[in-house]
Amino acid sequence: VEVSVGSNLEHIVEGIALNGEPGVIWMDVTRQYGRLIDPINNKDHRAAGYNPCAEQSLESFECCTLVETYLNRHDSIEDYKRTLKFAYLYAKTVTLLPTHWEETNAIMQRNRRIGTSMSGVANFADRVGVPALREWMDQGYRTIQRYDNVYSEWLGIRESIKMTTIKPSGTVSILAGESPGVHWTPGGKYFNRTIRFANEDPMLPLFKMANYTVEPASESPNTTSVVYFPIKSDAARAERDVTIFEKMSLAATAQRYWSDNSVSVTISFDKDTESEHVGTVLHMYDGQLKTVSFLPSGNHTYPQMPYTQISEKEYTDASSKLFAIDLTGVYAGMASDAIGERYCTTDSCEIKFIKDNSKAN
């Protein structure tokens, strides 16, 4: 739902506490502010809404242009600033590419909106503390701002009206061993990540041969299988170990010191013990966020959940039984995901026609 600062949200709190819906968007804050530590600038006064994950405010026909960085993969803030330079250049360069829609091209040329994101935020805060996180965010933002001033002039284009964001991330962060976006890792330090595959997927026999746990999916056993991947992360705490108040506070910190677009955050809460606090945190952080959504947990558990927390022993036992997977066939095109689409690619089209000699055309 779209609200304004100071709105009475009592009529939606009960639904959020019950099933997490609806999410909340403060469009007045969105249109007036970049980062919330900075003064009102009204640069985004034309914003009509958000992308589906609610990290990028957008005009109709506008593109997100996202790029992601990882805080914990850097030894110093200077090292991180160097990564931000290349991340910024990549995103800014993408805005130079025309699309097939004139309306989109016009908006992109006017706004040059990009979304330089950071992941591993919760892990970083747990590891070195929130004061250091605020410093990295603030200095990182000013670094991107400086690059935008320089390179926009070099390129002869407008400076970006907004440049930073926090993506929800997810599986991409797991591949880097990081907590997703501004969230704590759902499974903590050791967890099973379950992924569903169609029963005819050619990857499935490879997982079975490598000794991964494979089960029929509870909701569609005849067509789908679930594969369990044991994961070890650098997380100090799991999502369930963090209160609803701390989760809101971290998101607000990112909105204040880093993201001039928005922070995509889903605040999970224990349905048994924290649902009564939903209205409280919405009131406390009114005007300190641009978007927020919620997700109840606790007794609201389903079979074969995407993330299942396990012990160190369970992780060791499961991973020690695994064999390496021969991916030769996958890279040769055996897996369905590895088969490229034909038809239009870049500026040319590849369409296969079958010649029919029985007809003269």
Rounded CA separation 25/3 (Å)? 6
- pLDDT bin (cut points 50, 70, 90) of residue 360 is very low
Given the residues 53, 59, 239, 274, select the one marked as catalytic. 53
**In sequence order, what DSSP letters do the residues of 34-68 get, joined into one string?**
SSTTSPP--TTTT--EE-TTSSSEE-TT----EEE
Query: Any catalytic annotation for residue 349?
Result: no
With a pLDDT cut of 90, the percent of the chain lying above it is 75
Q: Among candidates 141, 117, 122, which has minimal Cα distance to 55?
A: 117
Would you say residue 130 has pLDDT above 90? yes
Element (H, E) at 230: strand 224-232
What is the value of pTM for the model shown?
A: 0.84
Q: What is the pLDDT of residues 315-338, one digit of tens each?
A: 999 999 999 988 887 777 766 553
At 335 the pLDDT is 63
At 349 the pLDDT is 42
Would you say residue 187 has pLDDT above 90? no
At 298 the pLDDT is 58
* Overall average pLDDT of the 205-211 stretch: 93
Instruction: Report residue 104: phi and psi, to 5°.
Output: -65, -45
Instruction: Report residue 269: phi and psi, to 5°.
Output: -145, 150
- pLDDT bin (cut points 50, 70, 90) of residue 214 is very high
Query: Any catalytic annotation for residue 53?
Result: yes
Q: What is the pLDDT of residues 215-238, one digit of tens each?
A: 999 999 999 999 999 998 888 898
Would you say residue 344 has pLDDT above 60? no
Rounded CA separation 114/92 (Å)? 7
With a pLDDT cut of 70, the percent of the chain lying above it is 91
Lowest model confidence (mean pLDDT) among 249-258, 268-277, 336-345? 336-345
At 345 the pLDDT is 41
Would you say residue 251 has pLDDT above 50? yes
pLDDT top residue among 339 and 319:
319
> What integer best gives the mean pLDDT of the chain?
90
Q: Among candidates 336, 297, 258, which has minimal Cα distance to 35?
A: 258
Residue 338 burial (10 A CB sphere; 0-12, 13-18, 19+):
middle
Element (H, E) at 168: none
Rounded CA separation 294/271 (Å)? 11
Q: What is the pLDDT of residues 11-63, one digit of tens each?
A: 999 999 998 999 999 999 999 999 999 999 999 999 999 999 999 999 999 99
Are the CB atoms for 181 and 278 separated by under 8 Å? Answer: no
Are the CB atoms for 186 and 306 separated by under 8 Å? Answer: yes
* Overall average pLDDT of the 166-180 stretch: 87
Q: How many CA atoms lie within 13 A of 131 on its CB side?
A: 0
Q: Which two tokens stand for residue 49?
A: 């809404």
Given the residues 2, 14, 21, 55, select the one marked as catalytic. 55
At 330 the pLDDT is 76
